Structure 1
Amino acid sequence: MSNTPVPSAKAAQGVKRPKRSLRRNILGWGLSLLAVLLLGVIVFSFMPSPIEPVKWSAPKAPSFQESGPWQQNNKLSSAQLVTDAPQSPEFITFDKEGQLYTGDSDGKIYKVPFGADGNPQKAQLFADTKGTPNGLKFDANGNLIVADIKKGLLSITPSGSIEVLANQVDGKPIYLANELDIAKDGSIYFSDTSNYGRVTFKEIAENKPHGRLLKYDPTTKQTTVLLEGLYFANGIALSADEDFVLIAESYHYQLTRYWLKGSKKGTSDIFADNLAGFPDNITRDEQGHFWVGIFTTRIPFVDQMHSNPWLANSMAKLPESLLSGASAPVKHGLAVELSPQGELIGSWHDPEGTLYGVTTAIKHNGYLYIGTAPGGSLGLHRVLLTK
């Protein structure tokens, strides 16, 4: 016989009361949380947006599944690592001896020599701009000209001494010097990406042009504005005859041509449009063809946002830290080749995304060298070109 006392009816009833009380508390907490959430939605809805977006119906992106120059392949999938000393080698250039130079987002610029067998040797630190060097090109005197997004247009001597060529134009700052090319007469054409002064999702959502094309004259040491109203001005490349200069407008998936000679001098038009992603840097090969790195293939949500100002307004209200994923590069490596007339010759893919976030594609000694930017794959790679 158990010695456990038998509870009375009153005691049994008393055991149930705490359960009903707990249910009431949970219900009360739930209603309070719902009220807070509803209040937050109401406040968020009436909160003014930091932008006034412009509606734009982006053209339908080319299909990688259909036959043609955009058809998906794996030409970039066999990429060989050249060096991982720079984590994000935005742009790539070569000196007269064939040594490779590239920068990293931490300000360091590296030199990569090659052995007699053509294989890359250990990367060497060449200079440190203390900024973010993007565009790189050697001038006729052997100085490395650099477009640094934090410092402006720079010149670096072979010994590593750094001089600021330009950080202002028309009495205003150069906000975000990005990429460049150098003409035979020494003139430097470079992009000032955005007067936002930094890469921000708000600019994508706003869909307004804040970039421009600049020219630096080494004789007068003056910088002038050639073209304004560009949608995230990015890569730069002169034509073989230097009758025009190309500039990538990343946020509108197009390349714009600015005429330097002839009857169209001083005017601009569209060289290539409806690219399958955000064009970054442009290089020209010995045939006069242009190679364009596509940082990311098209992001359907971004195109949808462009056609819906309410959605763009709402997205711009969110903290920037929550938006980084919305514009992160798709893990699909892509570079394209265009004719001197702007016709798409072919596309190079890594659909598996081992190599992605492509900024630069440049031909050199039988290889296609590939650069990337923060958010993409790490290190500098190359792919053997087939004849």
Structure 2
Amino acid sequence: MHRSAGFALAALLLTIGTSATAVAGTPPRAAEPARAAALTRLHATSAHAFVDSTGAQHLLIGPNLQPVWDANETDTWDQGTYDSIKAKGFTAVRMVLFWDMFQPTEAEWNETAFDTLATAVERAKAAGLYVILDCVHMSGDPDGQEHVPDWARVDPDDTTEGLDAVVENGLGFLQTIANRYKDEPAIAAYDPVNEPFRTSTRSARLMSDYTRIVNAIRAKDVVTSIMLEPSYGDAKVPASSFSSLTPTSRTNLIWSIHDYYNGASKSGYTAGYNDATGLGMDPNPSDGTTGYDPANKAALAAHLQVQIDTASEQGMPVWIGEFGIGNGATGHDQYIKDKVALYKSKGIDYAWWEYYSDGGNGPFSMVDENDAWRSWVSLIP
């Protein structure tokens, strides 16, 4: 989600209460589906984000959703929800986690939240869906720290930014997740920090931060893939900045961007990137209202190619952690068609996110206020 977009998933999802069960039954099923075959361990290559031991590519496509709604409650999406997602043709879910729910104090783990997450992972796995864990979802104020525990927050100034809270205080949380899921083949990747709050012109420092993050995770889990993100979704990172990316191992690293670009152009931008800061175009469809002109289709490819080239130079594949457009926005369906066609033409996996939909289901906006699948969902897999 774009940096400027609001975020109140926890509050919104608490309002749906028992409607999760209604979602789970949408559409009605004549019989309980047979359980999926066991998932196999996946890894990354320089060309593809997810391949198995035979080298066969697995395209992981699905929605973003929040599995833990309340730090002190075990309510979560039921098995039928994940079965229904699988039945729609999806192969994965990106699970959005809030750090403050899991570690309320520096010396305390909230086992209720961890148990709820374990239930969610098991249900996704039973449905045959892989899971990408969005471990520290940075968003909101101050400086992306809305869901950073109070004890771990930093005071932003000219040199200190929101990401410092994670790098200085959150490595233990990331290691705890890695230690708990290192042997779970259903976990296709860790996405350790969502849209890391580091000024885009400080991308060398961002890569240095990722060095510490990757090394911390690898101390507990040497196998599962790890995703790296640019600042604020799809910022352009100069090749020179990657000289600061020096983890002990660069195996199984994936470059993940949030691609909300709609192909528009304006002065001071090249291929949808700000010439001075490298930030992507704003406004864009992450705001829920900005639409899409199909005449801009070619620009979508030019914008994405910048990220593909960046990743390729570093020996990493690309995965789209978020893309979406507001329900009812101009050009909505064509935007989905053109984005999906582009991703598939490049052999890139992707996950849907559109926060500003009716229904209170947060990033899982593929269902409407009546918990029915939206008509355009069939365009995404």
Normalized against structure 1, the TM-score is what?
Answer: 0.31
Higher strand share: 1
* Higher Rg: 1
